[in-house]
A = this chain, B = another copy of it.
Amino acid sequence: MPPRKRADAVRNEQTLLAAAAEVFVRSGVDAPIREIAAAAGVGMGTIYRHFPTRADLVVAVYRHQVEACAEAGPALLSTEDSAVAALRKWIDLFVDFLVTKHGLAGAMQSDSSGFASLHAYFLDRLGPVCGSLLDAAAEAGEIRAGVRPFELMRGIGNLCIGRDDDPCYDPRRLIALLLDGLSVQQ
């Protein structure tokens, strides 16, 4: 059995995951390793030790983000003033996460089978969370009922496609529109 990991190693890994996620959102998944290292406040060697290839890092960030996103759902629901506010904040996190996700798809041209399993994991983990946020907001009468979580997630995902091509295209603006349309009415 392998010896337990050193405390600083675990700490660095967490820091890296968080920093890389931020950098990916800001500069895309092709951001220079140096930039990620700087953001995390570690040396490049540290990154390469934890994540030998870029794909390793992206995958790890992906899983980490799925987890964070999943945990944020209930947390926001108990923190925010209204269910719809929680939903909005959650979707904000979700959009950040999609950047990594789309970058991942690009970084995985070869191993598309591994990607499929990650995608399944993503749906299983996040679908219920999104569902409970929707339910809460619907029960509170803040949005219309009957919106299916997978539908919404899929739609938001699609709105986020191709964001790099055109700096004038801001998915968040459209998503905001979508959410406004969700508000109960008619």
> Is A110 in contact with chain B by the CB < 8 A criterion?
yes
Chain B residues whose CB sits within 8 angstroms of the CB of A110 once the complex forms: 165
- Mask for A146-170, Cβ within 8 A of B = 1, else 0? 0000000000000000000100000
> Is A109 in contact with chain B by the CB < 8 A criterion?
yes
For the complex, give the distance between the alpha carbons of A33 and B125 in Å.
45
For the complex, give the distance between the alpha carbons of A109 and B105 in Å.
14
Q: How large is the interface on A (under 10, 10 to 19, 20 to 34, 35 or more residues)?
A: under 10
Task: Please give me the 2 A-B residue pairs with the lowest Cβ-Cβ distance, nearest first.
Answer: A110-B165, A109-B165
The contact sample of 2 A-B pairs, CB cut-off 8 A, is A109-B165, A110-B165
- Mask for A92-110, Cβ within 8 A of B = 1, else 0? 0000000000000000011
For the complex, give the distance between the alpha carbons of A72 and B179 in Å.
58
Q: In the complex, which residue of chain B has the Cβ closest to the Cβ of A110?
A: B165
Chain B residues whose CB sits within 8 angstroms of the CB of A165 once the complex forms: 109-110
Q: In the complex, which residue of chain B has the Cβ closest to the Cβ of A166?
A: B110
- Mask for A60-87, Cβ within 8 A of B = 1, else 0? 0000000000000000000000000000
For the complex, give the distance between the alpha carbons of A110 and B165 in Å.
6
Q: In the complex, which residue of chain B has the Cβ closest to the Cβ of A111?
A: B165
Task: Tell me the minimal C-beta distance from A149 to chain B in angstroms.
Answer: 30
Q: In the complex, which residue of chain B has the Cβ closest to the Cβ of A165?
A: B110
For the complex, give the distance between the alpha carbons of A87 and B127 in Å.
54
Task: Tell me the minimal C-beta distance from A46 to chain B in angstroms.
Answer: 29
